[in-house]
Structure 1
Amino acid sequence: MAYIPSDSEDDNLGDSDDEFVVQNSRDSSSSDSDDSISSSESDEDNQPVDHVATATNVRGKPTYKWTKLNNNDEELPLPPFVAEETEESEIGRPIHYYQQFFSNELLYLIVEQSNLYAIQNDVNKPLNLTRSELEIFIGTVIYMSIFHLPRHRLYWKSACRVAQVADCMSRKRWEDIKKNLHFNNNDDLPTDRNDPNRDKLFKLRPIIDALTEKFKNQVKPQMLCVDEQIVPYKGRSALKQYNPKKPNKWGYKIFVLYDSSGLVHNFEIYTGKILPTPGKEDIGASGNIVLRLASVIPQHKNYLLFFDNWFTSVKLLTSLQEDGIYSLGTVRCNRLPGLQFSSDNVLKKKGRGTYEEYKTTVNSVDIHTLKWFDNKSVCLLSTFCGSQPVDIVERFDRKGKRRVEVTRPNMIKLYNNFMGGVDLLDGLISYYRISLRSRKWYLKLFFHLIDLALVSAWLKYKTDMQKSNMDKKDILDSLGFRAEVAEALCRVGKDENTRKRGRPSGSTEKNYEEKKRRGATKPIPQFDVRTDKVAHFPSYNKERQRCKRPLCGLKTYFYCVKCKVHLCITKTRNCFAEFHI
């Protein structure tokens, strides 16, 4: 089971709710810090079941009343859910899933803005970038995330040359494209830096809007989550954040709406200020961002939304419930006005698995809150579930050096089952992250968006393959998926003469006919490359090799100049044509 952090372990400090004067109760924060159990704590432990804690707001706002519940109260069933109706889509190749996010329209936009940016810098040095070249550039960038050489120029060095990159594009052309890569017209950039309405993400705005629209249109399961994601970056940027408790202390912060598998459904890059959702009450930065991300969720369809204690508050849960969205999250005790749980020492004395549950009604919304003690205590707040039914889980007892059984409420079980997709997403990205260095702050975010699209495309591909009962060994893993997408971008629909510019390197000066094969058999290109019907021409080679068409295997002198494999062309058989159909 995934571990739920306690309130003291949270990474960020959120804005607390309005100050309240609590009647006949003490500050919960001071009681939790006591080392010994006082007599008042013992009396609190023996309080009646119908105990009600009340609070009066010094600003005259409504009073919250919390009623303590029995441990054997009635179980709350999950809200019924009807999944979105979608058309069955055919299983495609990896490149087709990737192109669902990076479409041709988006590539043409980048080509147009990059060419314009090059002319704005120097009218005598136009870039003349084409869509095919941009695809090759992105393909080489994905290859670089797989090979991970420390400097990009090493991919063209003879000592450690990588043919998948160096054979596609000359180093100078690659550097020119990276230098002039642009996404928005600088002539439209606001000149007043003090303008409060100035878009700090202007450089990337077309890309962000296009990808956000793609993610919003994905089919959403019932269980969704909101969490933050850090893009590591140490360059100079006003958007860079510092958090000493994160694995990557410096970087950009992105708030993400995702499901338990890690598939993204909405995201927003943090720019220093979080505005309220239009038409919604301002409930603070942590609550506003949840409402903004959840605006893409269909209303009154019984979706369930999970988040951690930086976001959770009573106001947020009631605002979501107005839209028919149920929610569950860990919560800080100072965001529960009028309620005082037993201290950690009291719960610890009762043993691991002890919990307390309270209930209140705010704006006709029933809200359950619970404090559970395992190794540490954790509080949760929910509008759709309570502690029942409880189950038993095994935990390791360090003092007794043995495994013990611990009672686990239903709230904890649901939270742990569905609140972890962003960690999975971060892990999948970190394995093969595009880590090219650049002084331009927006390029780091652009490369991260490519990673985000690749991982999301792979998750969709994997889900479709599993639904079709495909054998597990035939499903590509994340690395294999990236490799096939990179190969398709570099070769599908490309002419060999247009992929190379400049003077060839020393290892490619000899013609293919003059080379003699050494070592393993040449790999057969993937299906998308073979069937793109571009630049596949037969040629004659002095050295005879076996035909690469399946079920043939006879030797021939003819080969394909693009695929670099031998194929038969005789009076009785034409393996060359059959191979490229």
Structure 2
Amino acid sequence: MVAISASTFYARRPGLSTKKADEVLQSICDRETSDISDSENEHDVDDVNAAYDSDTEEYAGSSSDSDDDGSSGVGISQRRPLWKAANSSPANNVPVLETGCVFSEARLEFSPADYYKQYVDDNMLEKMAEKTNQRILRERGIISKITGQEVKQFLGCSMLMGVIGYPRIRFFRKKGLAVSSVADTMPRDRFFLLRSNLCCQLDDDISDDDKKSERLWKVAPFVEMVRKGCLGLERPNCFCVDEQVIPFSGRCPMKLQYIPTNQILWA
């Protein structure tokens, strides 16, 4: 198969050069139109086609030369990027599935709790409970005795409350609006105690240099735990990567985006 350069393939087909066009027009004007026969017309058409083919060959040659030399024609910065397949292996060394979009049989019976456990480790919840107890004791002088199970219940209540979307947290325990899955799981004061003091690591355990280099240093262990869960996922042959904005208008060390054309302005 004959190879052709991208610039030649996508370029507009050139017409006759000015010199060739003048020669053809001059030859027509010099002749008497009444004496021109059909054979002469065919001869003129052949001359025009030959002139056009020669110009096309010259243009193709100049395009190939410019592609090889890089000194003329379209600049490198103006060309479209050439995408090539890379033979790099995944960062987590997990083998790529050969079954396409079919999931493994072990995940067919997964419940929502099983998917949650794939990203959130119980050991991390116990560590968060320990650090939270130390913070409450240091700042308030209270022995709270928070356990890892309570941290798990707090996270579950927070996710459920985010789905229901009451405008006030107290509405989840208010008469007539109460949600039993939240009100019966954790008392109100205990919930607000965890909400105000839950942490992954204490401020004194992190140096000032680490705080400047890592903006998410307060939740860095939790983020790393979720990252390991993502790296442990099987990689199918066909998948799609999409993004979704998270509505948020409070204070955050990360950069917030203002999108005036979107329904969600701050995210």
- Report TM bin, short chain: 0.5 to 0.7
In 2, Cα distance between the equivalents of 1:185 and 1:210?
18
Match of 2:131 in 1: 113
Structure 2: runs of 5 or more not aligned:
1-10, 15-55, 81-86, 88-94
Match of 2:235 in 1: 220
Match of 1:45 in 2: 12
Match of 2:226 in 1: 211
Match of 2:119 in 1: 101
State the shift of 1:223 in Å: 3.7
Q: Which residue, out of 207, 229, 245, partners 1:230?
A: 245
In 2, Cα distance between the equivalents of 1:177 and 1:100?
24
Q: Which residue, out of 224, 233, 239, partners 2:254?
A: 239
In 2, Cα distance between the equivalents of 1:82 and 1:212?
18
| Counterparts of residues 218-297 of structure 1 (less than 5 Å) | 218-224=233-239, 229-244=244-259, 245-251=261-267
The one-character-per-residue Cα deviations of 1:170-213 (angstroms, maximum 9, x if unpaired) are 11111111111111221123336995xx2111011001111101
Higher strand share: 1
State the shift of 1:118 in Å: 1.4
1:144 correspondence with 2:161: yes
SS across alignment from 1:231: coil
Match of 1:30 in 2: none
In 1, Cα distance between the equivalents of 2:172 and 2:116?
25
Q: Do 2:96 and 2:236's aligned partners in 1 also have CA atoms closer than 8 Å?
A: no
Higher helix share: 2
| Counterparts of residues 405-424 of structure 1 (less than 5 Å) | none
State the shift of 1:114 in Å: 1.6
Change (3 A) 1:56 1:236: farther
Change (3 A) 1:221 1:247: farther
Q: Do 1:240 and 1:250's aligned partners in 2 also have CA atoms closer than 8 Å?
A: no
Q: Do 1:56 and 1:63's aligned partners in 2 also have CA atoms closer than 8 Å?
A: no
TM-score w.r.t. length of structure 2: 0.59
Match of 1:184 in 2: 201
SS across alignment from 1:230: coil
TM-score w.r.t. length of structure 1: 0.29
Match of 1:269 in 2: none
Q: Do 2:172 and 2:182's aligned partners in 1 also have CA atoms closer than 8 Å?
A: yes
State the shift of 1:220 in Å: 0.8
Q: Do 2:98 and 2:237's aligned partners in 1 also have CA atoms closer than 8 Å?
A: no
Supply the AA of the counterpart residue of 1:248. Answer: I
In 1, Cα distance between the equivalents of 2:181 and 2:233?
33
Q: Do 1:101 and 1:214's aligned partners in 2 also have CA atoms closer than 8 Å?
A: yes
In 2, Cα distance between the equivalents of 1:162 and 1:64?
60
State the superposition RMSD in angstroms. Answer: 3.8
Supply the AA of the counterpart residue of 1:209. Answer: E
SS across alignment from 2:246: strand
Match of 2:176 in 1: 159
Supply the AA of the counterpart residue of 1:173. Answer: R
Q: Do 1:127 and 1:177's aligned partners in 2 also have CA atoms closer than 8 Å?
A: no
Change (3 A) 1:226 1:136: closer
Change (3 A) 1:66 1:99: closer
| Counterparts of residues 50-61 of structure 1 (less than 5 Å) | 50=60, 51-52=63-64
Q: Do 2:210 and 2:217's aligned partners in 1 also have CA atoms closer than 8 Å?
A: no
Change (3 A) 1:94 1:242: closer
| Counterparts of residues 260-339 of structure 1 (less than 5 Å) | none
Identical counterparts, % of pairs: 24
In 1, Cα distance between the equivalents of 2:183 and 2:96?
51
SS across alignment from 2:160: helix
In 2, Cα distance between the equivalents of 1:228 and 1:157?
36
Match of 1:83 in 2: 97
Alignment length (residue pairs): 191
State the shift of 1:154 in Å: 0.8
State the shift of 1:146 in Å: 3.3
Change (3 A) 1:56 1:152: farther
Match of 1:448 in 2: none
